Amino acid sequence: GAVVSQHPSWVICKSGTSVKIECRSLDFQATTMFWYRQFPKQSLMLMATSNEGSKATYEQGVEKDKFLINHASLTLSTLTVTSAHPEDSSFYICSARDAGSDTEAFFGQGTRLTVV
Amino acid sequence: AQSVSQHNHHVILSEAASLELGCNYSYGGTVNLFWYVQYPGQHLQLLLKYFSGDPLVKGIKGFEAEFIKSKFSFNLRKPSVQWSDTAEYFCAVRKTGTASKLTFGTGTRLQVTL
């Protein structure tokens, strides 16, 4: 299947700093990427839908100014957690779908963020 | 809005036992259905999917699922589980269409004992 790569796999940052997470589709183009958050032993909660060349669509309750999403190209979307706080510590997962193809989404390996 | 229910939160089975994990969704339109597996410390992997056609879908590692439209269900089955099947299993649904988002169930943790 297609490959989606997330970087970094884990990151520890100080409270108040910002962290950027990258999501790349390695062998296909993705007009749409999705960002999820997964708390321990819980399901994936969709945070936002990232569309190449336009603004992301955020789910209800997700602060767009805190979780900045940029989808500048067909193979890269970034999620920046601004002014991170310990409660932002979580597992962040991206997924991407092949542009124009009604197939399943492929998932990145996730990024474990710990804010201290 | 669509939602997905997985009724079994934690299942413990002995090796060689049969498995059935329930998944029900609420959406009246045409949907695509998925089962994903997340092994400890690893990313989500697709087990199987249903888009159209035969409602009995076969996936990897001996898993299968049956789409019953009248029951809004997409239960996952495996005749004989192995210790290596220990993982978290997620059912997911999306409306048909290239940009529609996936809605995940809460997940079922499967523990297979030797």
Residues of B with Cβ-Cβ distance to A104 under 8 angstroms = 32, 34, 46, 49
For residue A101, pLDDT over 70 is answered with: no
| pLDDT above 80 (res B21) | yes
The mean pLDDT of A78-106, rounded to a whole number, is: 88
Whole-number average pLDDT of chain B: 92
Judge residue B41's burial from the number of C-beta atoms within 10 Å of its C-beta, 0-12 exposed, 13-18 middle, 19 or more buried. Answer: exposed
Beta strands in B1-114, from DSSP E residues, in sequence order: 3-5, 10-14, 19-21, 24-26, 31-38, 45-50, 56-58, 64-68, 73-78, 87-95, 103-104, 108-113
> Model confidence over B70-104: pLDDT tens digits?
999 999 999 999 999 999 999 999 888 656 788 99
pLDDT digits (tens, 9 = 90+) for B28-74: 788 999 999 999 878 888 999 999 999 999 999 999 999 999 999 99
Chain B closest-CA separation from residue A97 CA (Å): 8
Q: pLDDT value at position B18?
A: 97
Dihedral sign of CA atoms A70, A72, A78, A82 in order: negative
Which residues are B98's β-sheet partners? none
CB atoms within 10 A of CB A18: 12
CA distance A46 to A116: 24
Q: What tokens were used for A9?
A: 């796999």
- With a pLDDT cut of 90, the percent of chain A lying above it is 65
CA atoms within 13 A of residue B92's CA, in its CB half-sphere: 27
Which of A35, A89, A81 lies closest to A57 in space, CA to CA?
A35
Any B CB within 8 A of A49 CB: yes
pLDDT score, position B44? 87
B-proximal residues of A, 15-44, CB under 8 Å: 31-32, 34, 36, 41-44
Residues of chain A neighbouring B9 (CB-CB closer than 8 A)? none
pLDDT at A2: 73
pLDDT in tens, A23-50: 999 988 888 899 999 887 778 899 999 8
Q: CB B43 to CB A108 under 8 A?
A: yes
